[in-house]
Chain A
Amino acid sequence: MDQFVTYTVFGVVLAAIYAIAASGLVVTYTTSGIFNFAHGAVGMLGAFAYWQFHVKWGWPTLLSIAVVLLVIAPLIGVFVERVVMRGLQGVSEVTKVVVTIALLFTLIQVAPVIWSPKGSYSVQPFFGAAKIDLAGAGVTYHQLIVIGVAIVVAAGLRALLYGTRLGIGMRAVVDNRMLAELNGARPDRMSAFSWILGSALAALAGILIAERIGLETVALTFLVVNAYAAAVVGRLTSLTRTYVGALLLGLGQAYAQGYLPDNPTWFAERNLDIRSLSLAIPVIMLFVVLLLIPHARLRAHGIVRSRELIPRPTYRWSLVGFGVLIGVVSLLSGALSGEDTLIWSQGLCFGIIMLSLVPLTGYGGQISLAQMSFAGLGAYAIATWGGGGNPLGVVLAVLLAAAAGILVALPALRLRGIYLALATLAFAYVMEKVVFNQRALFPTTSKPVDRLWGLESNRAYLIFLAVVFSLVGFGIVWLRRSKFGRRLQAMKDSPAACATLGLNLTVTKLQVFILSAGIAGLGGALFAGANRAAATDSFSAVQNLPVLLMAVAGGIAMVSGALTGGLLLASFSLATRSIPTLELFGVDAKSFFENLFRLAPGLIGITLGRDPNGLVAMVSDKVKRLWERRLQHRGTRDLPVPATRWQQLVEPVWAVESMGVDTPFVPEEIARIDERLALDEEEVRAGVFA
């Protein structure tokens, strides 16, 4: 009985913290339409800032909290709103997700720069161990305070959003930003305020929970991420339901930790540990909730894209591009050192993994944060069945990953946008915590791998990778031009139009998920081959972030974009390695640049809000414009061939695919089509997925 009370109190306290964090998330989401994946990271920074003031500098508790909540968190909020989110109007959901993920990634990388991971950090509960007695169990003052704060936050938010003009204005901005302006409200100030409020709530949650789980960057970030599950129970909009969700989550987790039996011998004998499941409870709950909530309600703001282009590649120029890639790799690889060759090989493997995102995200508009987990399965397969370079290992890598793809796709069929991103992130987290850490699968954290056909020379392996990339890339170009490719495009553009055309989105979605997972599995197997080892670290949930970021930075809808993304990622580690040890003005410049390169994927991702089409498209667009100007200068009329042909000839080959860029529908057009068809998006989806 005492124990039960203890667990219950513990659960309620956890729930209170999740509720505070989740309500911050809900506030920013409802007022800006942006689901802030970096919310947890803001909480993490808040906790570290509190440590700095209170523990390091010895400020009084209340003063430290006040400074964090009233100064630091609002500064972060305003920064995020001004610098990152303002540019995000009229971009697709994919871009919004990517930008906040970039922010998440950046903040995770920034914290260790300020607070070295070598140091030790901890904060004490408020009032130490002082406690009162409740039905025989001790409840600490800290726990009481946490519960009290959650109640105050709930009441305060309700009063703000429903009882004040500012709050009503914030909700009005969500409904119709333009109309709010026409009413004379100032939407910019309102969204700035909601970001400030959201940050402060995240920081508050971070401070309250730091005492329990300690100050560790990723753990803290992902703990607040658990709050996502609660927010999703509230469908990202209802605060009441969010609190209910938090309560379920907190209690569930507390009871699971308290009552889950020891690992049964049957499992133990097989080196499987089912207790690790309790770590994944919030994420499993997130997954379940995503599936149980009536999906018609699960809609994100503005599902259409606008500033993004989907280039249509041509066979001829793709072939030229792949030829050049293989040629250049063959030539240059002779001049590279063994270690550099290895890094470029990894880059090409990342490129192949990013290729898996081209049909899925680039064409089909489905976000996945689990590609590295599929890759991890591929790595596992080759390590297990690819001994002696047996090609069976690679075949099984593709099949195993594709099978997992079905597993993710089936439940994900009814999800899209941020919900899909969340579900795939949840999957990645479960893979990391529950699957990859089973000793039955990976006896140690790394498993030796034999390269395919015993390609021992690094140079030969690099050239082999270029060939594989080209083959897969060509397949994707073919796909883009096929009927299936047009289907994917239609799925991305307008669900309503799809329904009227009689397209079966369910099958299309399933197919593209399987295909994508298979490609990622192949990439993972080849990656493990390059390293001669399958290391579980490489496939943790966090590793998905830079992969998605760099894929989008290169150009998510282009084969050349995937190549660019992969090579960029490799070039960062190459650059980091090649920095000499040096000191500038008494500062350790080497570690400064190392940090900079570690931040690079995040920083690049953040800029995507400004130019969502990626690097390749940006450059080829510039080149095209320059050439057009030159043609005009010379007088195009005299040219024997149409100007467009000439434009194609001079473009850099690696940008070949952006030729013949076709202009997509603008959101207004899509909306008009949908409206003309008198179709409500929810109805359509209900019909399509029925």
Chain B
Amino acid sequence: MSTLLEVTGVSKAFEGVKANTDVSIRVNAGEIVGLIGPNGSGKTTLFNSIVGYHPVDGGTIQFAGKEITTLRVPEIARLGLLRTFQQTRVYKQMNCVENLQISTPAAQLSTASLFVRVPKPVTEKAEALLDFVGLSSKRYLLAGDLSFGQQKLLEFAMALMSEPKLLLLDEPTAGINPTLINGLIDRLRRANAEFGVTLLVIEHNMRVIMNLATRLYCLAQGKILAEGAPEAVRQDPRVIEAYLGGH
């Protein structure tokens, strides 16, 4: 398997708070990798560092063989590395279909294409993806009128619409009705298997991540505490200690 994302020794501090210290992780093409850790352990910070949201204090990040440590958010996104937000972000005054229509791969948005109508295949794909995440009946509602959980699903669909190589999901099941979680796990798997999207998933729900991930990393106090097969990581005494003693 080829390496898609290689994070090497990345550190990031906020005014003295060491959010990430010497973090190294690797994601291979085609994998579903989980990232767990107690609240405040630095998971979202690591995502932000990877996608270029803020400069890192040290370390390097490579994506698809390309050095991206100093690239900014839009440049990295255009390489096919996308993230969803823990506090969902959708275009609230636009309806669901429109949210997807404008989420096509950046390569398809030439200057000339901006001046013409949304091509029919794009709209069809948007409808299909809304169906995929179970939002078909809401397709003409404004995204801002959706519930938090529905916005999570919409944001997931938007990410798929832009056909990323690697998708970083920040707590995809948070706020999702427990009865729908199994369906969501299934969709994440299908996104991986059928659409070929490699996933790196932050998740607090242990049942979900055990079901989903092929490998796990555990962060605690900004450092990688353990990595490996999901079951092994879960039973690692240091991981148990971090979760119980962390706060």
Partners in one complex: no
